Structure 1
Amino acid sequence: MTNNEQTFWVVYEKFKPHLFMVLVQVALVLQYFLVEASFNNGMDPHVFVTYRHAIGGIVVLPFAYFLERLEAIDVKSPRGLAKIVGTVLSLTGALIMILYKGHTIQSLKGAPFHLGGKMAHNNWIKGTILTVVSCISWSLWYILQAIIVKKYPAKLSLTAWINCIGAAQSAVFTVLVQRKPRAWFLTSSVELCCILYAGVICGGLLIYIQIWTMAQKGPVFVSMFNPLGTILVSMLAYFVLGEQLHIGSILGVLIVIMGLYLLVWGKEADRDYKSQESFPAHVEEKDCKTQIQTSVTEEA
């Protein structure tokens, strides 16, 4: 293996979690657009969630069968401040993209696709409350995964359990709120593709990647890439779907990128500091053992 190849693999191993989390956000963005198209086509949201988890569990379960912390911040150090400022900037940028519109940039007339807005509603209060609850639940889910994966390191099995239990809960809830048997039937290829993609890729592969990355880097590292999904949705909606773009979205994108960079830098600097901090103790302990063995040998 040449020096260039060795350098490439060293860099790849170092930034593999970063690459995985970017790919996770790209895959989730594609799911958002497929889900919107399916909902506009008439698919019931509760049925979608049930099918998604069921397929995810079915796909992951064979692999699981055959193969198988919380974040500390030093507020006095530059790396700790970088993580705090980066988190705040990322959150601020995402909120700006959602709440602040600004001047409208006209949509592209030559966009290849256009999705209808049949599912749009104007109940802002209810939508805001549900969104906040969703964000809190999502955060707790990350933290619980980080705790569980330490005591239950079988990542494939954990992914299968998440999907199977999610499918069971969703099925019970759907039966209670959706009394029409017709809602369980898929009526178009768009709905079928959406469910298969959401189940196999997002419900199976992406959850496993998130759990693996969480075991390597912790829950904060995984969650800090979520604003990247908001950026990708806005850009693709403008260039591909021909939706309008606002100045607030561009401003939010720039702030999110700054925050994400600071957060990644702070995490890496914190990791390097911890490795350097543990290295002298390890060397000192090794030297101490060597001296003891030498003394015993001389006395003998």
Structure 2
Amino acid sequence: MRGWLNLNGTSKLLPFVGMIISVLAQSGSMVVIKFAMKDGMNKYVMVVYSMGLSSILLLPLALFINRSQRPPLTFSALWSFFLLALIGSSAQIMTYGGIELSSPTLASAMLNLIPAFTFVLALIFRMERIYWRHFSSQAKAIGTIVSMAGAFVVILYKGPPILKIHSSISYNTLQFSPNLNWILGGFLCAGDSLLSSMWYIYQVSVTKKYPAVIVIVFFQVVFITIQTGVYALIVVRDPSAWELKLDMGLIVILYQAVAAIGIRYFLQTWSVQRAGPLFCAMFKPIGIIFTVFLGSIFLGDDFYLGSLIGAVIIVVGFYAVQWGKASEEKVEKGIENLETQSNVVPLLQNKV
């Protein structure tokens, strides 16, 4: 237990629990989104209403929690929140489009790409280092490539269903052929994973400059509401699509606003602040387990062989990256200890 409570001087138990809850909320979100779209609700309108309601719910928290301890709210901070929201709103639109064209299971499998993308971006922004002659660094590089290869397996190879549920209803919006829908949906979900990785990386910088998590989440949600609202007004031409009814669509909006946006955004932002982007990214492979289970129960979704093979490849690649990172941290910690000892010993000898 001490290993969890005191890792690198900070508590990792609470971020661990927080990320498990966050991934479960996101998996449930994918299932209820598909359910609402099957019921005829417009995906862009759903984003706007969910974000708007979440903004209202977060407002009193943002106004009163730790009010006296916050840094001043500057234009620079607001601009950072706006950019975070722009990344988040783009990811939301890609997620909803990808789920509509494919399935929640495929969307969840593609989330496993987030650790690989996060690692590549961390290298680009010098948050991670790689030493090509070291086996641990080679494991990180190879693991990243393997994860990306697994994503292409998920997208390009659907395969036969290996978990077939009684429902035979098709949930795809057949604008194209079913296979082309699957491929396009996969690429949209991959785009969502890339944007989510960018969101994690940029979040580190933002939380260092402005550590009040609830304020960051509130302004993100407000700006996403505005951004997606403008986009929805452009692409949704049917006024009746904006009408709210006492049906499943309203329940989905409530779930999205409270769990998938409010709670999930807060837990992810707080966990990134406490444990870093790669620690949080490592929980994404768990999402496919939750999504397959929930999708089978509530949607009657089939689970395809291609999704299983690709997800396994992605997870193997991901844990190769994590093994390499853990090995490098041990080596760096050993070097730091040796340097500390070399600095301390001469002082002791002089005193003797």
TM surpasses 0.5: yes
Give yes or no for the alignment of 1:176 onto 2:234: yes
Counterpart pick for 1:67 among 65, 68, 74: 65
Q: CA deviation at 1:167?
A: 0.5
**Which residue of the partner structure matches residue 195 of structure 2?**
137
- Most deviating of 28-37 and 220-229: 220-229
Distance 1:29 1:121, change over 3 A: farther
RMSD: 3.5
Give yes or no for the alignment of 1:146 onto 2:204: yes
Kept in 2, the 8 Å contact 1:57–1:163? The answer is: yes
Give yes or no for the alignment of 1:82 onto 2:139: yes
Aligned pairs (5 A) from 1:87-106: 87-105=144-162
**Which residue of the partner structure matches residue 298 of structure 1?**
none
Q: CA deviation at 1:62?
A: 2.6
Counterpart pick for 2:56 among 55, 58, 61: 58
Question: Aligned partners of 1:102, 1:95: CA distance in 2, in Å?
Answer: 13
**Which residue of the partner structure matches residue 160 of structure 1?**
218
- Most deviating of 277-286 and 7-16: 7-16
Distance 1:33 1:180, change over 3 A: same
2:205 maps to a residue whose letter is I
Q: CA deviation at 1:238?
A: 4.4
Give yes or no for the alignment of 1:222 onto 2:280: yes
Distance 1:266 1:106, change over 3 A: closer
Q: CA deviation at 1:286?
A: 6.1
Rg comparison, structure with higher value:
1
Kept in 2, the 8 Å contact 1:238–1:244? The answer is: yes
Counterpart pick for 1:32 among 19, 30, 33: 30
1:102 maps to a residue whose letter is G
**Which residue of the partner structure matches residue 248 of structure 1?**
306
Distance 1:71 1:104, change over 3 A: same
1:105 maps to a residue whose letter is I
Q: CA deviation at 1:267?
A: 3.1
**Which residue of the partner structure matches residue 122 of structure 1?**
176
Question: Aligned partners of 2:272, 2:308: CA distance in 1, in Å?
Answer: 30
Counterpart pick for 1:277 among 327, 332, 335: 335
Question: Aligned partners of 1:55, 1:289: CA distance in 2, in Å?
Answer: 62
Kept in 2, the 8 Å contact 1:71–1:220? The answer is: no
Count of matched residue positions in the alignment of Structure 1 and Structure 2: 287
2:171 maps to a residue whose letter is G
**Which residue of the partner structure matches residue 261 of structure 1?**
319
TM (norm. structure 2) is: 0.67
1:137 maps to a residue whose letter is L
Q: CA deviation at 1:183?
A: 2.2
- Most deviating of 266-275 and 5-14: 5-14
Question: Aligned partners of 1:181, 1:284: CA distance in 2, in Å?
Answer: 73
Kept in 2, the 8 Å contact 1:93–1:256? The answer is: yes
Question: Aligned partners of 2:59, 2:161: CA distance in 1, in Å?
Answer: 47
1:21 maps to a residue whose letter is M
1:71 maps to a residue whose letter is E
